[in-house]
Amino acid sequence: MSNLHILPKFADRWSHLYLEHGKLDKKDDALAFHTEEGTVHLPIDQLGLVMLGPGTSVTHRAIQALAENNCLLAWTGEQGVRLYAHSTGGTHFSRRLLNQARLFCDAETRMGVIRRMYQKRFPDPLPDNLTLEQIRGMEGARVRKAYQEISTLTGVSWSGRNYDQDKWDNSDPVNRSLSAANSCLYGLCHAAILSSGYSPAIGFIHTGKMLSFVYDIADFYKTELTIPLAFQVAKAAGFEIERRARLACRDRFYEARLMERIIPDIAEVFDAGDDLGEISGEFEGRIVTLADRAQVGSVPWEPQRQGPGRTLEDDD
């Protein structure tokens, strides 16, 4: 790699650094994260995406240092499951964005991306003679089958995706749970897309929205992650179904190692062989939290909120 700024540091260094309940500041040539338990020093040039969770604050000097090092800063819910706001992307260079636009603008290359996006949802290769309408029909049948199978497995009745944002409380529990879970998924995909230098607006299957590409990528994971999770949450019944869905998403995304999968999946559907090679060789592919003391420095404390199975309160 001739220039370390050509690929965003999201791929070169740590995948994500998630922080919560503390203050991020700049001290000397490093960042310092202050909490009630102590201070952790963080090397600025190792960071590709810093996710600020509940209870965090950040100084002007820290933001300036992160911007100068091409690091994306995102304000999120717990474990990054919801994206509220973000800084500029994780790279000053536009190679990936220009390639995304090139693939979209040419009818042949755009169709190639669409076919590869659909192929990722099926275990067997799609025949070359299938039309796009036939593939879309197969995808619709696959998703309907997934809903029905999960409904039968959980015993939660399913009458279709149906909800009205203006009459939210009138929706059935499983539709409300699905909406909350998918919102979490969109936030995480959005953060990955921005940090790796793509545009969330240039979609291929979905078009015309500022988050069209986010919806394209999120669709890779719904039948695996958010649909089963939403039915399981709805089966448990009780109050605050949206909050419980968000909490369940946080743990399920962690267990599925979703963060490390998104950028390689984008490179795959874009047929970007150079990105795949560099990612497989250098992308560490995991969240770094303050629990990873070997990475961020030895400190005499463990955060109370970490990993699967932890007991957490939602940020809302």
**Residue 280 pLDDT level (bands cut at 50, 70, 90):** very low
Give bridge partners of residue 25 from the DSSP assignment: 32
> What predicted TM-score, i.e. pTM, was given to this entire model?
0.73
pLDDT of residue 312: 31
Q: How confident is the model at residue 81 (pLDDT cuts 50, 70, 90)?
A: low
pLDDT score at 80: 63
In whole numbers, what is the pLDDT of the chain averaged over residues? 79
Q: Give per-residue pLDDT as tens, 231-247.
A: 999 999 777 888 888 88
Q: Any residues with CB less than 8 A from the CB of 297 and at least 6 apart, and which?
A: 40, 41, 42
pLDDT at position 292 is 47
Distances in Å between the alpha carbon of 309 and those of 91, 99, 126, 188, 274?
Answer: 34, 40, 38, 20, 37
For residues 72 and 195, the answer to whether their CB atoms sit within 8 Å is yes
CA distance 208 to 279: 30
Q: pLDDT tens digits for 294-310? A: 444 433 323 333 333 33
Give the chain's domains with CATH numbers: 9-91+282-296 (3.100.10.20), 95-274 (1.20.120.920)
pLDDT digits (tens, 9 = 90+) for 32-76: 999 998 998 888 776 667 888 899 999 999 998 888 877 778 888
Partner residues linked to 41 by β-bridges: 32
Give the separation between CA 163 and CA 129, rounded to whole angstroms.
Answer: 37
